Every structure is written in C-alpha cells, then in structure tokens.
Structure 1
Amino acid sequence: MKFDRGFFIIGTDTDIGKTYVSSLLYKGIKEVEGSYYKPIQSGCIRRDGELYAPDVEFVCSMNEKEYDKNMVTYTLEAEVSPHLASELEGIKIDIERIREAWIELKEKYRYMLVEGAGGLYVPLIRDKFYIFDLIKELDLPIILVCGSKVGAINHTILTIEALKKMGISIHGLVFNRVSEDLESNYFEKDNIDVILKLSGIERSLLVNSGQREIPKEELQRFLEIEV
C-alpha cells in the first residue's frame, strides 16, 4: 500500500470555497503521488448522456488536467442533498462501494485529499449515514475551510466543537478569501486571531481571494509533508 497520509476537507458553510481550496492543495501534492477524491456529488451536469461532477471538473480545470471520472464514485443530477438526490433518481448509495474505491486509491497514491458534500450533518443515506459517518469510516483528520468575515467566528467554532464531540481529529484550518492586506482589514485579522485562540488549533493557512497557488514552504508547513 502506497498511502502515507490523507485529509478530509469540509467547510463551515455552503459556498465557503472548499472545492477551490481543494484545487490549490491538489496542485501542491499532485507531483508527489497525491490525488483528489470526491465520494459523492449531487448537482452533476449531463453531457452526451453522461454525468460530470462539477467539483471534479473544477479541480481538474484548475490543474490543467483532463476530467478524471475515477475521482468520483457517485454522480447525482438533482441539485439537492445527496440523500434526496439518490432517492429522486432511484440510486442506492452503497457505502461499501465507496470503501472499495478508497482502498484502490490508497494503493495507487501516497497522499489523498477527500472532499465532502456540504457540511458535517449532510445526510448521504436518509436517517442512517451522514458526512460525519463517512469521515469516521475513512478515518482521516479534518481540514476545515472557514471564512474570516462577519459570522466566521460563530460558524467555525460551532463546527470545531461538533468535531471534537464526535472524536474526529482536526488537522488544521484554512481561512479562505482572506484580504491580502490584513492590517487594513483589521476585523478579519481579529476574527482569525479569535478563532485560533478559542479553538486552540495551531495549524492554519490563509488563502487570498483569487490566489492560484500555495507557496511550497507554506504547504509543507501546513500539511507536514514534503512537496
């Protein structure tokens, strides 16, 4: 087995930018036997009779790579929660199928980024299996994508407390869409400082709006791997 280290990427809120952050992290690890995996994607786009996962398309496009259908297991067309999309489309979500795909990926790649669908409590199978269950199933530490604007403190700390109560390890925080000049945007800097102090989490990474790459040194420090 090649697998050495992996991370499960979730966000504090819808449209917080976890796919964008995933694409930047993937860009940093793809040359050192790293890859990206999206177990389930709803809201997929149908072209030529096939469904394409928009998150996978975005990650591949950002990295000038052809769409890789092996990066996703379930593609669902309805733009709703995965559990409802699967019900509407008559597709049974089989966690064993995801588990088997995960085993294959671990044998092929050294480092893995797994992106969730929405937040912690998004159902994958109604009344039975949630994103937090999948995180436990894959046994990966969390990279939590959060904001730095108004509301960031509450959203982030609530998610962190939920993760701690579930016994899920948190690798670090990525503050996305941060202003380049934090000194002028003092409230953002203060939000970040408060979140880090309240959470007690030491590993963090700042991503500016429109940033296209994470500097190698910053990536190595944050992920604690050689890139």
Structure 2
Amino acid sequence: MLIFITATDTEAGKTWVTASVVRALLHEGRSAKALKPIACGLDEAGRNEDIDLLLAAQQVDDADQISLFRYALPAAPSQASAAEDQIVDTEKLVQWCEEQSSEVETCLIEGVGGLMVPITDDWLVSDWINALPDAEVWLVVGCRLGAINQTLLTLEKLKQMGRTPARIFFNATKPEFNTWLEPTRKAVEPFLNQSCAIHALKFGKAPNVIR
C-alpha cells in the first residue's frame, strides 16, 4: 500500500505523523517504510531534523535509503535545487517512489510543504500526487490561526484532483496550539467526505492508525 502524506502548510507535523506511523507499524512486525524523497534545508553534514526523525523511527542511518533529492537551501525544491544549479528530475522521482513502495507492504511518502509547493518551475506537489494514482492521500493540518482557511483550500484542491483524503490529522505542533484543535476540527468536519478518518493530536500525541 502506498500512502502520500501532505499538509496544509510547512511545519504542520507531516514528519511527526509519518515517523509515528512507521514506528508503530514496524513495532507490530509489519513490512513498512517511510520516505522523504525530497528534503531541503540541510546542515553541513547533509542532514536535517526531518531526515533524522524518519531514520530513527526505522532504526536506519543512511539517508540515501529514504531520500533521493536533498538540498542545502531551506526553500521550495524548485528554488533549493536551482541554488545548486540543479533541477529535480520528476520522472526519476516518481519511478523511485514506485520502486521503493514495491519492496514493502506499506510505504509512506512524506511530501514537501503543501499541495502548491513547486518541485520544478512547472511541476507542483499536486502533480507529484497525481503521478502516483494508486497512493492513498493523508492530510496533516497544523492547527493554529489561519488553519481553517488553508485546510478548506487544500480540501478543495484535492477534490478537484479527485483525491479526497482518506485520513486527516488535526495536529498541535506546540503545547499552546492544543486549544486550536477542536475549533479547527469542528469548522472543517462538515466539508469532509464521510469516509475520511479524523484524528485530533494534542502536542506530542502519536496517531493510532494501525490497520
């Protein structure tokens, strides 16, 4: 099973959700893998917090096992790659994701930012999702001021793509954001497909989505 984890914005908690789910699956003895195919904002060692968190969740240490394109600049992939005189090879990206997913029962792919983040000058995260038609889409919402608007815009875009989310995670990324969970969920829930599983995650709470 292939799962694409996207979000309403950067810093919404995609990595936290992805790492928590793959850790739980592996703990249950499932065949699972979590990928961060594109990573931007690397330190001098060529790593960042997202990569380290996903590696630790899977008890592996080689970033090449989970990531294909990595760039130093903390920016959209189109800009981060251009800063190094490179362009993300989108065909190679899609092929790599498919190859990685074929090796395990469940493969989690963590995207970059939200749906409209440019991977290249003419290819967005939404195009990446469309290039993986068999992938189930999970949406992570960083609950804070402005989250309702961003979530409804994201849901509308996914609806246009014919890719309504199978799961939505209302996530508090800081303790002080816990109070935003219920108001955000209540405002968004009427716009969700009835089959969409809803998770509300207080700060530090891991999602329970073992199938």
TM class by shorter-chain length?
A: 0.7 to 0.9
Partners of 2:8 and 2:150 within 8 A in 1: yes
Aligned to 1:95: 90
2:37 corresponding residue in structure 1: 39
2:190 counterpart of 1:197: yes
Amino acid at match of 2:73: A
What is the match of residue 168 of structure 2? 173
Structure number with larger C-alpha Rg: 1
| Unaligned residue ranges in structure 2 (runs of 5+) | none
Gaps of 5+ in 1: none
Contact 1:178 1:206 in 2 (8 A): no
| Partner residue in 2 for 1:131 | 125
What does residue range 76-155 of structure 1 map to in structure 2 within 5 Å?
76-126=71-121, 128-139=122-133, 140-155=135-150
Residue equivalent to 1:27 = 23
TM-score between both structures, scaled by the size of structure 1: 0.81
| Larger mean Cα displacement after TM superposition, 91-100 or 170-179 | 170-179
How far apart in 1 are the matches of 2:84 and 2:93?
A: 18
TM superposition shift of 1:121: 0.7
Change in CA separation of 1:203 and 1:85 when aligned onto 2, cut-off 3 Å: same
Which residue is equivalent to 1:210? 204
| 1:178 shift after superposition | 8.0
SS at match of 1:45: coil
Percent identity at matched positions? 24
Distance in structure 1 (CA, Å) of the matches to 2:38 and 2:75: 12
State the secondary structure of the residue aligned to 2:112: coil
Distance 1:116 1:95 in 2: 13
CA RMSD of aligned residues (A): 2.3
Q: Is the 8 A contact 1:178 1:188 kept in 2?
A: no
